[in-house]
Chain A
């Protein structure tokens, strides 16, 4: 059983000086002078820890994570998994809401890990560390925290990783999963004949049409980063590691274009980007997940995962890939689906209230996943008379 150590973000002065030195050489220093890297606030808001986690066939990795328990003892253990260019910071707004205890809605214990190679987690050093390994790390972390049964929430890479968790550890450990990034594949008549026919004969809604257009545009104009990161991450990595300005542009482009007109403040953007800049493994490490995914056995066969545990989906209109609603059934055992009229890719950060409402509904007393973790339904336990 590995030891949990409390963690505070603390960037050495030498690194800050080097950053200032580089920024002084750029042509537009005015905008970046006061980088406002305010890690004191982050440390205050997010209780963080590190722990060594074993991974089968790879080295032990020291994993950084946020962990906050609800005041309610039998809150539902929830694992939150971020993606790229996200990080543990994406849990920041939903955390205080999720841990809240109330008779009106369920409470959660929340674990938000920094994926290996992101934030303050170590990165893998051996090639081949693919999404299945990321899933194993996340799962092993939950086990090591005493959460043998839990639920998950994830978007972007968090979607794929929690899907793998649902497939590999579902039933016994993972009891239900929720995503805001359901990468659906077209329906298969032999698998879902009724849905297939329904999809064939039901006209697309306005939202679906807009979504399909958006997906096409993304495919045509927005996938360069994916292509490069999944083929030559090291070549790109030299730029991201050496140039804070280059890194800023690389990430900010996604923050702006993948959100639904979210009013980013400069300090918000810079905090987000500096997590990458000062990450433990360096900014070049995080993008290797794309390469490892494409080159892994399942990179070309994601449909080989068939999770059966209950699935909840929240649809946000400015998500990157939007597929016809009926296709979502190809993702998993869909028991809960909500449509929103605003919001984009970074749902937990852009629309924390909506996302938390969805989780509360899905796991709440009237919800399809109520009580899915035995003994931890997120509500105050009534004292039963001894019979």
Chain B
């Protein structure tokens, strides 16, 4: 049974946050540090000052509730009992929408569906483009979903809970879109439920290992540059990943106790992973507030990394690719870019689009481009048109 849900942060929580912000203590900063050592002090002071006086959570809360119809329902997960899952759910405005499950990552949330939902559900004025029924889940431990209490809730479980949500909503067949951790979850869905339930999947992050007979001398210049960027990311940008994957609880005390610490932790990624996206302070603070006010608290979401790393499902573990058709959208500032020769390890790529702007948070940074790709992929004349029985996105 689904329950309608409205975000309603208690006034106790709001005033507790205010007290913490008011007693915020800042570190110093090295001269001319810029972004080299992490988030610059000036950015933090400005954001915290806005958070203290000016940022109106109640207003943001209301906007979110008005724009995004939200629900919760209990989903059974094998071995973990019932979890109460929060999700956004909007049906298409006309015709039979293609059921699309949108899966966010970290430090994202259901919020990342905000800009693409109106485009996906309304279509453009042009009746040639398909429309979608959109389900944007809050993964367990994120947003307003419950978190698992037992150890071992790993990729398989995120896959299971996401799939079961679609089934519970009456969509025995559906398609998916995912980036960041959402890309891993939707790949898992494609593997386990592909064919019978998941009919096609789209992602903006491709990752696989090189094939056996790989020939690096055949890489194009942009492929080489993409791999170099991935290496640089591992060298200088993956500290968070190492920590999340090994000691999420130790870090969690900071994230749960200090809104300033949490803000820095997330804001660093919002800026460094996006393509010069002009974040407004309120946008950033809304994003971070979702973590601060999350049902399970900010320490819960990062356990995802630990569980995946310790369950034999770490990135780079060999596994057979899903066989259902997939599409990908390549944005220049994405963290990972693999050469085309590695694609067979990812899946059956039937649609590919490359863009000259946009980064890791594609749905938030370039909603029109991303939705444009989904319309091309799933629309009339596209490679997976009509892939969901009886729901082709048109009248």
Give the interface of A toward B (CB within 8 A).
18, 21-22, 25-26, 123-127, 220-225, 227-243, 245-250, 253, 281-285, 288, 291
Q: Confirm or deny: B44 has a beta carbon within 8 angstroms of a beta carbon on chain A.
A: yes
B245 and A224 contacting across the interface, CB-CB below 8 Å = yes
The interface bits of chain B over 16-30 (1 if a CB of A lies within 8 angstroms of the residue's CB, else 0) are 100110011111111
B16 and A125 contacting across the interface, CB-CB below 8 Å = no
The interface bits of chain B over 222-261 (1 if a CB of A lies within 8 angstroms of the residue's CB, else 0) are 0000000000000111111011111101111111011011
A245 to B253, CA, bound (A): 7
Contact of B239 among A127, A228, A247 (CB under 8 A): A228
Contact (A248, B253) CB under 8 Å given A127-B36, A288-B30: yes
- 22 sampled A-B residue pairs with Cβ under 8 A: A21-B23, A25-B20, A25-B23, A124-B30, A127-B31, A127-B37, A224-B251, A227-B238, A233-B37, A234-B41, A235-B38, A235-B39, A238-B260, A240-B254, A241-B26, A242-B24, A243-B257, A245-B257, A246-B258, A250-B254, A283-B27, A285-B27
Closest to A21 in B: B23
Q: Confirm or deny: B265 has a beta carbon within 8 angstroms of a beta carbon on chain A.
A: yes
A49 to B164, CA, bound (A): 66
Instruction: Give every chain B residue within 8 A of A18 (Cβ-Cβ).
Output: 23, 25
Instruction: Give every chain B residue within 8 A of A284 (Cβ-Cβ).
Output: 27-28
A224 to B245, CA, bound (A): 8
A231 to B29, CA, bound (A): 15
Contact of B237 among A26, A231, A234 (CB under 8 A): A231
A232 to B261, CA, bound (A): 13
The main secondary structure of chain A at its interface with chain B is helix
B44 and A238 contacting across the interface, CB-CB below 8 Å = yes
Closest chain-B Cβ to A298's Cβ sits at a distance in Å of 17
Q: Confirm or deny: B93 has a beta carbon within 8 angstroms of a beta carbon on chain A.
A: no
Q: Confirm or deny: B175 has a beta carbon within 8 angstroms of a beta carbon on chain A.
A: no
A228 and B258 contacting across the interface, CB-CB below 8 Å = no
Closest chain-B Cβ to A227's Cβ sits at a distance in Å of 4
Contact (A234, B25) CB under 8 Å given A223-B242, A224-B245: no
Instruction: Give every chain A residue within 8 A of B33 (Cβ-Cβ).
Output: 127, 234
Closest to B21 in A: A242
Instruction: Give every chain B residue within 8 A of A233 (Cβ-Cβ).
Output: 37-38
Contact (A237, B243) CB under 8 Å given A25-B20, A242-B258, A253-B250: no
A3 to B113, CA, bound (A): 63
Closest to B20 in A: A25
Chain B interface size, under 10 / 10 to 19 / 20 to 34 / 35 or more: 35 or more
Closest chain-B Cβ to A156's Cβ sits at a distance in Å of 18
A225 and B247 contacting across the interface, CB-CB below 8 Å = yes
A26 to B263, CA, bound (A): 18
Closest to A128 in B: B30
Contact of A282 among B28, B30, B249, B252 (CB under 8 A): B28
Closest to B236 in A: A231
Q: Confirm or deny: B352 has a beta carbon within 8 angstroms of a beta carbon on chain A.
A: no
Q: Confirm or deny: B388 has a beta carbon within 8 angstroms of a beta carbon on chain A.
A: no
Instruction: Give every chain B residue within 8 A of A245 (Cβ-Cβ).
Output: 253-254, 257
Contact (A127, B253) CB under 8 Å given A224-B247, A231-B239, A235-B38: no
A241 and B27 contacting across the interface, CB-CB below 8 Å = yes
The 8 closest A-B pairs by CB, nearest first: A246-B254, A239-B261, A235-B38, A234-B38, A284-B27, A228-B239, A239-B254, A243-B258
**Which of B23, B32, B249, B258 counts the most chain A CB atoms within 10 A?**
B258
**Which of B29, B237, B239, B243 counts the most chain A CB atoms within 10 A?**
B239
Instruction: Give every chain B residue within 8 A of A125 (Cβ-Cβ).
Output: 28, 30-31
Contact of A238 among B236, B238, B251, B258 (CB under 8 A): B258
B268 and A232 contacting across the interface, CB-CB below 8 Å = yes
Contact (A236, B23) CB under 8 Å given A126-B31, A246-B258: no
Instruction: Give every chain A residue within 8 A of B258 (Cβ-Cβ).
Output: 238-239, 242-243, 246
Q: Confirm or deny: B117 has a beta carbon within 8 angstroms of a beta carbon on chain A.
A: no
B28 and A235 contacting across the interface, CB-CB below 8 Å = no
Closest chain-B Cβ to A59's Cβ sits at a distance in Å of 10
Contact of A240 among B27, B40, B240 (CB under 8 A): B27
Closest chain-A Cβ to B92's Cβ sits at a distance in Å of 41
Closest chain-A Cβ to B265's Cβ sits at a distance in Å of 6
Contact (A222, B246) CB under 8 Å given A235-B268, A238-B27: yes
**Which of A222, A232, A237, A247 counts the most chain B CB atoms within 10 A?**
A232
Instruction: Give every chain B residue within 8 A of A228 (Cβ-Cβ).
Output: 239-240, 242-243
A125 to B41, CA, bound (A): 14
A291 and B37 contacting across the interface, CB-CB below 8 Å = yes
A238 and B39 contacting across the interface, CB-CB below 8 Å = yes
Instruction: Give every chain A residue within 8 A of B44 (Cβ-Cβ).
Output: 238
Closest chain-A Cβ to B257's Cβ sits at a distance in Å of 4
A26 to B239, CA, bound (A): 26
B16 and A242 contacting across the interface, CB-CB below 8 Å = no
Q: Confirm or deny: B264 has a beta carbon within 8 angstroms of a beta carbon on chain A.
A: yes
B265 and A239 contacting across the interface, CB-CB below 8 Å = yes
Closest to A248 in B: B253
Instruction: Give every chain B residue within 8 A of A282 (Cβ-Cβ).
Output: 27-28
Instruction: Give every chain A residue within 8 A of B245 (Cβ-Cβ).
Output: 224
Closest to B39 in A: A235
A285 to B23, CA, bound (A): 20
Closest chain-B Cβ to A346's Cβ sits at a distance in Å of 18
B255 and A238 contacting across the interface, CB-CB below 8 Å = no
Contact of B27 among A21, A237, A253 (CB under 8 A): A237
A277 to B81, CA, bound (A): 42
Instruction: Give every chain B residue within 8 A of A225 (Cβ-Cβ).
Output: 243, 247
B25 and A242 contacting across the interface, CB-CB below 8 Å = yes
Instruction: Give every chain A residue within 8 A of B25 (Cβ-Cβ).
Output: 18, 22, 241-242
Instruction: Give every chain B residue within 8 A of A240 (Cβ-Cβ).
Output: 27, 254, 261
A270 to B168, CA, bound (A): 51
